Amino acid sequence: MPRVITNETYGCPPIRALTFDSLGLIKVTEARGKERGTPTVVNTWGEMNASRSVLASSMDDRPSNPLLAVARKDGNVEVLNPCNGDLHFAYPLFGDDGCSPEDDEVSGLHLFRKQKDDQAERSCTLLTCTKKGDVSLRTVKFPDARDDSIDDTAPKTWKACGSGEVLVGKVDGSENFGLFGGKRVEVNIWDLEQCTKIWSAKSPPKDNLGIFTPTWFTCAAFLSNEDHRKFATGTKSHQVRLYDVSAQRRPVLSFDFHETAITAITEDPDGHTIYVGNASADLAAFDIRTGKLLGNFLGKCSGSIRSVVRHPHHPVIASCGLDRYLRVYDVKTRQLISAVFLKQHLTGLVFDSGFSGEEIAVANTVVEAETEEKMTILEDDEEEGEDKTEEAPVKKKKSKKEKRSRDKVSEKGEEIDEVRSKKTRDHKKKTKKVKHTQED
C-alpha cells in the first residue's frame, strides 16, 4: 500500500515559478497573497512544438526590466519579458559553420545580471555552450522600434573541450568564471574576461577492485556566490563530489547517493547545504562539509528529476521532472507543500524572486472596492424604482399559468353545478312517486 503522509503546513508562501517543458511551452505558476495559499497555473506562453523544446534557461529578475532567456532545440536563443511573455528578440545560434541543431544541442545558458555600461538596460550579455564544447559570449542590443534588426557585436568564442560532450555549463555568482564538464570531459574553470582556462580537475583514482570510473558529469553548483573555488558536482555513476580549487585537482569529498544517476543539484544560501535529485525521483539534503545525509524529502515522485531550485527568500525548494509535476517542499520539515500537474514532461524551472504577491492583493482590494460601489449604486437605483412603483401602480398582465389555472377552476365549478342539478332532479322524481303512492 502507498504511504500516506499528513501535511502539517497549509499551502506555500507567495512564490512565482516559470517551468519549461519538452513541447516548448512556458507555464507560470503562482501562489498569491500574503498568507499561505495553493499554487495555480496563471499563464501559458507559446505553442506546442516538439522541435522548440526548451533545453536551458536563465533569468535576470531585477526590479526594473527583468529578462528571461531560453535556448530551444531548434537552435534559437530567445530573450523574453518574464512578466507577460513578450519576445524582445531572438537569434540563431547555428548556421555560420554549417552545423545543425540536432547534432550539437545547447547544454548551458546564462544571462548576465551585472551591468557593464550605461546602455545595459537596452542590451544583455549571454553565454551559451553546446555539447561539442563551443562556448559563445556575446552582447546583444535590443532592436529599435523603427528597425527590427538586432545590433549584434562579434561574440567571443572558444572551445571548452577537445573531445567528448559538454553537458554542464555554469557561471559563478560574481559572473567572472565559468565551469564546464560532461561526458569524457573533466570539470574545468575558465576566466570569462580573458577566455582562458585557469583550472582543470583530475579524475579520481581506481577503487579497491582496480575499476576505473569513467568521467561523466551531469550537473554542478557553486556553493557560494562570493567564492568560485568550491563547487559540488553530480555524476552518472550516482556520485556527489566536492571540489576545492585552492586545495587540489581531485575531489576533496565524494559519496554515493542511491544507485541511479544524479540529475540535479543546487546550493543553499548558507553555503554548506546542497539538495540533490536523481533519476529515480529521490530528493535529499546533504551537509557538503562532511557528506552527512540531513534527510530525504517526503512525497515520492514517480519520474526522473530534471531540475531543483532553492528560493532565495522563502524557505522552500521546487523540483520538476518527467512525472509532469511541479513540487514545492518546505526546507525545514522536508515535507511536500503542494504539487501542480502541468501535463507535459518538464525540463527546467526558475523562480522569480521579485514576486511578492502584494501588488495582486492591492489590485484585488481596489477591484473589491469598485464592485462594492457599483453594488451600492445598483441598490439605490432599485430602492428609487420601488418608490416610483408604489406611487403609480401599474396593472400587471396575467400570465399564461394563471389563466390556465383559472380555466381549470371554472371547468371544475361547472362540473360540480351539473352534478348538483342532477341530484335535485332525482330528488324531485322520488318525491312525486311517493305522493302518487299515498293517493292510491
Name the range with the highest mean pLDDT among 108-117, 149-158, 238-247: 238-247
Segment 42-63 shows an average pLDDT of 94
Question: What confidence score (pLDDT) does residue 4 get?
Answer: 35
Question: What confidence score (pLDDT) does residue 416 get?
Answer: 57
Q: Which residues contact 13 (CB under 8 A, 6 or more apart)?
A: 31, 36, 314, 316
Distance between CA 35 and CA 22 in Å, rounded? 33
**What does pLDDT average to over the chain?**
82
Q: How far lies 373's CA from each of 365, 368, 383, in Å?
A: 12, 9, 16
Distance between CA 408 and CA 402 in Å, rounded? 10
Ramachandran bin of 95, using left for φ above 0, alpha for ψ from -120 to 50, beta for the remaining angles? left
Question: What confidence score (pLDDT) does residue 123 get?
Answer: 84
C-alpha cell at 170: 555554469
Question: What confidence score (pLDDT) does residue 354 get?
Answer: 86
| Residue 300 reports pLDDT greater than 60 | yes
Q: What is the pTM of this model?
A: 0.77
- State the pLDDT confidence band at 149, using cuts at 50, 70 and 90: low
Choice between 145 and 314, residue whose per-residue pLDDT is larger: 314
- State the pLDDT confidence band at 372, using cuts at 50, 70 and 90: low
Flag the least confident range among 62-71, 227-236, 299-308, 339-348. 299-308
Distance between CA 25 and CA 30 in Å, rounded? 16
**HSE, side-chain direction, 13 A CA sphere, residue 310:** 24
Q: Which residues contact 76 (CB under 8 A, 6 or more apart)?
A: 52, 90, 91, 92, 93
